[in-house]
């Protein structure tokens, strides 16, 4: 019995001895890795800290906005603006198109269709494009192309934020700031997405109508009860801890909204009190609610079509103000048809 016990102990002992070296190496290795990781973390924090102590950032201590907020959307500058628009003339209506820096094709399509219309029903109309900085490996070449495009067309306004879908709220804020700084004497602005066909004549007609308000006016496809989407897989997901309410305040959809030019200043005025979310149009609604200025429904439901069933008839096209399109060629053919006098309805 003792013998058996002894030999058992011996086996255990020799096994422990045999693996002791490996066990020690494993423990030391783990400790070493842990120490390296800790140092690395501290190193990174140092870099972040150094970054934020630079002069510009010192005024606005860096704070991670998280994925649903947008940091400091009023912190950006216009870095390219060769537009004479509001400096030498006073347009009645400004057509403001947010567009991706690389999307020359969309800009050219708009320039040769509705964006090229300058005098409409005797009113001066101006088309401008607003964009941020190009990204990617060829950002510098893209920027050079933009500079040339600006020299040729004089219709680009560029700001120094990184252009991206998640930064659209910044784009809208920069647009409002630019309007306040340069175009307060214009009467109206429409913010219109680059895939939208605009019927400028119908828009001017609406704006000249005596029943259209000249102040505190914002219209488009108004969503009066837009639910806050809680499905994390949805493009517009918004968690409860960011927005607790079940619905956003009423807002006109981002595809195309028209506003009187007293509003940009008023919206900017309250926007500093409302933490910006990445959903640009819903954020506008939050600012409007704070102002106590509700959006206005358009006089006819046929004027703004967000989700049309294509192809649109000549009759529909003759009545529309803004409708989304699916391609440049569709935009061109719709525009040509919308210009034909007297569509049969």
Ligand X SMILES: *[C@@H]1O[C@H](CO)[C@@H](O)[C@H](O)[C@H]1NC(C)=O
Q: In the chain, count H helices and then E strands.
A: 11, 13
Told to check if 89 binds ligand X by CB under 6 A, we report no
Q: Does residue 162 interact with ligand X by CB under 6 A?
A: yes
Distances (CA, A) of 174 to 9, 127, 131: 78, 16, 9
Cβ contact 220:305 at 8 Å: no
230 is a site residue for ligand X (CB under 6 A): no
Does 60 help bind ligand X (rule: CB under 6 A)? no
Beta carbons of 178 and 78 less than 8 angstroms apart? yes
Shortest CB 335 distance to ligand X, Å? 31
When the beta carbons of 129 and 161 are compared against ligand X, the nearer one is: 161
Backbone angles phi, psi at 246, to 5 degrees: -80, -20
- Contact status: 161 vs ligand X (CB under 6 A): yes
User: Among 93, 91, 167, which Cα is nearest to 130's?
Assistant: 167
Q: Which two tokens stand for residue 328?
A: 């440049």
- Scanning the chain, the segments in alpha helix (DSSP H) are 2-52, 55-59, 85-88, 104-112, 139-153, 168-182, 200-208, 263-271, 280-291, 314-319, 328-339
Number of residues located near ligand X, criterion CB under 6 A: 7
State the nearest-atom distance from the C-beta of 96 to ligand X, in Å: 17
In terms of Cα–Cα distance, which of 286, 11, 306, 297 is closest to 173? Answer: 286
Residue closer to ligand X (CB basis): 43 or 66: 66
Binding of ligand X by 187 (CB under 6 A): no
Which of 290, 294, 295 is CA-nearest to residue 271?
290
Of 74, 118, 154, 166, the one binding ligand X by CB under 6 A: 166
Q: How many CA within 13 A on the CB side of residue 170?
A: 23
Q: Where are the alpha helices (DSSP H) in 154-212?
A: 168-182, 200-208
Could you say whether residue 141 binds ligand X (CB under 6 A)?
Answer: no
Q: Among 109, 167, 323, 338, which residue interacts with ligand X (rule: CB under 6 A)?
A: 167
Give me the least distance between CB of 167 and ligand X, in Å please. Answer: 4
By beta-carbon proximity to ligand X, the closer residue of 133 and 267 is: 133
46 forms part of the interface with ligand X (CB under 6 A): no
Binding span for ligand X by CB under 6 A among 14-22, 159-167, 308-316, 337-345: 159-167
Report the nearest approach of ligand X to the CB of residue 271 (Å): 17
User: Which of these segments, 31-39, 164-172, 303-311, 315-323, binds ligand X (CB under 6 A)?
Assistant: 164-172
Between residues 49 and 181, which has the closer beta carbon with respect to ligand X?
A: 181
Give which of 188, 99, 196 is closest to 150, Cα–Cα: 99
Q: Which of 75/212 has CB closer to ligand X?
A: 75
CA angle, 311 as apex, 310 and 314 as ends, to 5°?
130
User: Closer CB to ligand X, residue 164 or residue 333?
Assistant: 164
Binds ligand X (CB under 6 A): choice among 52, 143, 164, 314: 164
Q: Is residue 185 involved in binding ligand X (CB under 6 A)?
A: yes
Q: In the complex, which residues of this chain contact ligand X (CB under 6 A)? A: 90, 161-162, 164, 166-167, 185
């Amino acid at each position: 019995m003792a013998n058996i016990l002894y030999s058992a102990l011996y086996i255990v002992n020799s096994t422990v001895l045999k693996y002791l070296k490996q066990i020690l190496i494993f423990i030391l290795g783990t400790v070493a890795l842990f120490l390296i990781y800790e140092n690395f973390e501290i190193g990174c924090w140092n870099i972040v800290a150094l970054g934020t102590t630079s002069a510009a950032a010192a005024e606005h201590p860096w704070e991670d906005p998280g994925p649903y907020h947008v940091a400091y959307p009023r912190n950006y500058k216009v870095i390219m603006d060769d537009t004479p628009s509001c400096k030498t003339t006073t347009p009645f209506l400004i057509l403001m198109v947010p567009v991706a820096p690389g999307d020359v094709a969309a800009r050219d399509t708009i320039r040769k269709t509705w964006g090229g219309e300058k005098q409409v029903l005797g009113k001066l109309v101006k088309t401008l494009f607003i964009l941020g900085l190009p990204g990617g490996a060829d950002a510098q070449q893209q920027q050079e192309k933009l500079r040339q495009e600006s020299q040729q067309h004089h219709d680009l306004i560029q700001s120094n934020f990184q252009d991206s879908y998640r930064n659209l709220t910044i784009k809208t804020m920069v647009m409002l700031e630019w309007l306040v700084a340069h175009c307060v004497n214009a009467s109206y602005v429409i913010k219109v997405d680059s895939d939208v066909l605009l019927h400028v004549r119908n828009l001017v007609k609406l704006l000249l109508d005596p029943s259209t308000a000249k102040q505190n006016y914002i219209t488009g496809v108004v969503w009066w009860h837009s639910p806050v989407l809680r499905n994390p897989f949805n493009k517009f997901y918004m968690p409860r801890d960011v927005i607790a309410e079940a619905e956003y305040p009423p807002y006109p959809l981002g595809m195309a909204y028209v506003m009187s030019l007293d509003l940009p200043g008023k919206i900017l005025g309250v926007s500093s009190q409302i933490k910006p979310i990445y959903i640009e149009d819903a954020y506008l609604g939050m600012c409007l609610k704070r102002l106590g200025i509700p959006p206005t429904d358009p006089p006819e439901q046929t004027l703004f079509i967000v989700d049309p069933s294509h192809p649109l008839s000549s009759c529909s096209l003759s009545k529309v103000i803004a409708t989304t399109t699916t391609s440049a060629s569709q935009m061109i053919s719709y525009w040509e048809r919308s210009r034909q006098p007297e569509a049969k309805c």
